[in-house]
Structure 1
Amino acid sequence: MELLVLGGTAFLGREIAAQAAGRGWSVTCAARGRSGSFPDDVRSVVLDRDADDGLAPLTDRAWDAVIDLARQPGQVRRAVRELTTRHWVFVSTANVYADQATRGQDESGPLLPPLDAETMTEPVQYGPAKVACENLVRDTASWMIARAGLIVGPGDSSSRLGYWPWRFAHDRTASVLIPADPDQPVQLIDVRDLAGWLLDCAEGAVRGAFNACGSPTTLGEVLDAARSVAGHRRRVLAADRDWLIEHRVNPWMGPRSLPLWLGGDHALWGFQDHRNDRALASGLRLRPLADTLTDTLAWETGRDEPRAAGLDDADHDELVQALSADIAARP
């Protein structure tokens, strides 16, 4: 297989390229090279996809498949116009869906209006930009669209999942603060499972749109599994939505957050609960959550840089003390 990965230095793109090289494929990765290093055993091409002639180094051959992870419509427009391939695989996102409240939607769910610009300039445009990219890919002769859910696993610098096994291991003999929202849906896919399936689909020229998501679970089940993997045996302190808001704890991701928690907003529950029947039927295989958590904990434990999500030690200890005092004062 002659595979072109448009990307290849960041989380998912790097895993795709590394697995493809491990299969003995001829792999070319094209990127600016600012998000990380290129994997071993690939041909690396440093280029700027925003430049009018940025793809010129790639137009001298026909590819068996192209896997594109772009979010900018202008970049995708140039790629589908200038590159020659038997099959396109475009990595999209579940953020393209207009309805984020309804649970159990399949690929026929209504999409957001496409971004009417070549470049997204703010995070709120991410979903519409990906819709515009999807529409451009649909104009090719052979295409597949993978609407990825929350991608996790070793190498995920967002720490949205990784914070939890790390926190439970870090405070193995101390209380840990969690959100009191155990029934909230959570839908995770290990980067290694997603990458392997995308390569299978590229090789088989699988066509159509797919929800590339893990099977839905709950926040309570994820936290229980993270706690088990970490060997945590002390008390967990579950704080309700109002208490967390009062104490300026953020949902989902970023600083001073409880990652994966949707802030108690049921209008977002559908965002973490899409049907993945089509992807499973096409060959997607999902490893057990405990395996992903174990490997993620090992990776998080070896990190030196600050985590992008969660509570730092000082904030966590302060909040645990505050909630413990509130609980003790209740009649």
Structure 2
Amino acid sequence: MQQLVLPVLLASFWTVCTGSGDWCYQSQFTCDHLCNVPENWNHVNSACGGQKQSPINIVTRKTFKDDRLTPLKFQNYEEIFRSTIINNGHSAQVQIPTVSTISRGDLPDEYKAVQFHLHWGANGGPGSEHTIDGEQYPMELHIVHMKKAYSDLTTALRDTEGVAVLGFFYEVSSSSNRKYEPIISALQNIQATNGNTSLSPISLAQLIPSEKNLTAYYRYKGSLTTPGCTESVIWTLFENPIPLSIEQLQAFSKLQFNDGKQMTGNFRPVQPLNGRKVYRSGSAVILANSAILLATIAIALGLSEPN
């Protein structure tokens, strides 16, 4: 009889603690804060149950090489701008006031940058939205663009190719990335939801790898990763990660959700591919082959050395 007590209590708990109301991340859900966790986002917006949802796990051996995925052209990414960083209740977000654009790389149009935001784990732990061969990075940056002809994201999202998002992963570094100091120092002033503060002058270029290191990437068609989950996004995910120290990564976890809870785990779990193809740039293959070639040469040299 005692063996039945725990299952009954757990069943009662989940019956009482059923998600309702607004959407939230799994890390936010408690009996004191009832909300729709990612698996129930389709209750908030039916599009979240669509067939082309993001993020996804990229299985590199199942990607398709596409020679049309040439290096992107970044226009005005080095331009310095002033802006405000805000805690919007589920991330740290910065509006981009300059006309910075991306094109080429088999994008169907020229796209202008609108805003960037981030997704992270807990105190530098796993937290990226996309994963590569099942590996989850500590954090992921999304630079959101819309077709240059549109004046707002709402309109752009009505176009099935209206939005292009560049995704960048982060890795733990032994030293601080000084280019990120304007953002890291500003986080302490936006801990509460709707908190905002001015950013020291920055450029988009200083936040991402140099252009010569942006030739290896993956491409697929998907959606926004928060409700309404609109399936109008062309995703470009770059191989080369951005280094941040563990202290810099931990600074993001000091932000708070709108209920005052520590903002950690603000990522959506990976979604089914549902038959979609993921493409890789030719450079990704060349880089991989070069690495294998160098390793082979090193082994050969090691074997040929006299004892």
What TM-score do you get using the length of structure 1 for normalisation?
A: 0.26
Structure with greater strand share of residues: 2
Structure with greater helix share of residues: 1
